[in-house]
Amino acid sequence: MRWFGPADPVPLAHLRQAGASAVFTSLHDIPYGEAWPRTAVRERRELVEAAGLRWTAVESIPVHEDLKTGRGDLAGLLENYASSLRAVAAEGIRTVVYNFMPVLDWVRTDMAFMLPDGSRSMRFDPVHFAAFDLHALQRPGAEYDHPPEIREQAAAWWGTLDEPARQRFIASIIDVFPGVKWGLTLDDIRTMLARYEGIGESQLLAHLERFLDYILPVAEEVGVKLAIHPDDPPFPVLGLPRIVSTEAQLASILDLADSPSHGLCFCTGSLGARPDNDLPAMVARFADRLHALHLRSTTLEADGSFHEAGHLDGTTDLLAVLLSYQKSRTSPDSVPWRPDHGLVIMDDLDKPEGITPGYSAIGRLKGLAEIRGMLRAMP
Ligand code: DNO
């Protein structure tokens, strides 16, 4: 299970009671780009172990924006990242998840989407996202990125929101970085977007390659496996380049380096939000290069919207993915996995402020139980 550290409203004891044996966690209090001191990693590891759990994967050591845009003190940032890898390896943690998504870590347009049974989920609606882009952010050139009928619906929907509703909507899009609240404003986002001026997909891929060229030898030396997380959602947003969304892109990324430390975090929820991603086929193709698994399902709707579904429901057939993975894998190494996200259900529905978006207690417990059941029953 993912754990956000001592400030997480779901304590380690509850994760253990839910059936977890290990956690994915990070030192969320350390600013992006700084080196992680080994003592801080050790203290966090001891906290996890004192609760009867293991810390098997770091999620994430975030990649500083300057490394993605290729501006600033790159040498210093690369050395800090390498030093963090050495610190986690010295404490026995062998898997590190990271992502290379420009500006935003993940995007939804509704954090409390009600399903027919009264559960709450998170949804992405292209009309609402266009309203954000065109009317809240007012990004120059945004009009070229949304078809006319979507622009029309976006304007109409934006007109129905009063000012407080607009502010709540904006905050839910721009301030959902894992484990931190930065209080970002639209102007901050505009500044961050401006840094990507002139950076297309090939440039971003070249920046990823530069990062890997420096980091992979260190990872190999200390025995850490890196796992790049896919884009969420897996298509371009806000005019930004996206390089980790499709099967072809995952293959190109793996082709950047032939290293045992270079692999993927196979997130079925993120990848599953694109109808042309055939997940059982992709998991088979990349089986031995998967260093971490995030397991969840998404329901795709006809108009391009999607929402997060129960782990056994939705458009993604998780059992088919797991069976295909099992059949295709040859590596004997164990791979850390976790149920990704969970719906808000039952008692959690009454604590709206106490839930980290996506990381409810009871909904994830249900997902974990379903996945453990599948694994136990698999041949
Ligand atoms: C969302 C998560 C992501 C993920 C990072 C990995 O719930 O899956 O925030 O942790 O993108 O770097």
pLDDT confidence bin for 319, thresholds 50/70/90: very high
Distance, in Å, from the CA atom of 342 to the CA atom of 359, rounded to the nearest integer, reads 6
pLDDT in tens, 16-62: 999 999 999 999 999 999 999 999 999 999 999 999 999 999 999 99
pLDDT in tens, 187-197: 999 999 999 99
Ligand 1 atom at minimal distance to the Cα of residue 358? 7
The single residue of 229, 291, 307, 311 carrying the catalytic annotation is: 229
Ligand 1 atom at minimal distance to the Cα of residue 24? 10
**Gyration radius (Cα) of the chain, Å:** 20
CA distances from 108 to 103, 125, 126, 174, 237 (A): 14, 8, 10, 10, 11
pTM of the model: 0.97
Residue 270 has pLDDT above 80, yes or no: yes
Ligand 1 atom at minimal distance to the Cα of residue 294? 8
Question: 54 phi and psi, to 5 degrees?
Answer: -115, 150
Ligand 1 atom at minimal distance to the Cα of residue 178? 9
Query: Within 6 Å (CB) of ligand 1, which residues are found?
Result: 59-60, 97-99, 105-106, 178, 229, 294, 340, 358
CA 147 to chain centre: 27
Please list, residue by residue across 107-143, b when 16 or more beta carbons sit within 10 angstroms of its beta carbon and e when fewer do. Answer: bbbbbebebeeebbbbbbbbbbbbbbbbbbbebeebe
pLDDT score of 175: 83
pLDDT score of 352: 66
Does residue 258 have an active-site annotation? no
* Pocket probe mutation, ligand 1, options 26, 28, 229, 264, max atoms within 8 Å of Cβ: 229
Does residue 294 have an active-site annotation? yes
Task: Give, for 171, the enclosing helix (H) or strand (E).
Answer: helix 163-174
CATH class, 12-107+191-377 region: alpha beta
The single residue of 81, 98, 325, 359 carrying the catalytic annotation is: 359
Distance, in Å, from the CA atom of 98 to the CA atom of 68, rounded to the nearest integer, reads 12
**In the block, residue with structure tokens 């172990």:** 49
Does residue 135 have an active-site annotation? no
- Dihedral (CA of 188, 203, 66, 58) sign: positive
Residue 353 has pLDDT above 90, yes or no: no
**75 CA from centroid of ligand 1 (Å):** 25
Residue 338 has pLDDT above 90, yes or no: yes
pLDDT score of 366: 98
The single residue of 110, 133, 231, 340 carrying the catalytic annotation is: 340
Lowest mean pLDDT among 116-130, 270-284, 304-318, 344-358: 344-358
CA distances from 223 to 53, 94, 215, 216 (A): 22, 6, 12, 10
How many CB atoms within 10 Å of residue 259?
Answer: 16
Distance, in Å, from the CA atom of 209 to the CA atom of 223, rounded to the nearest integer, reads 20
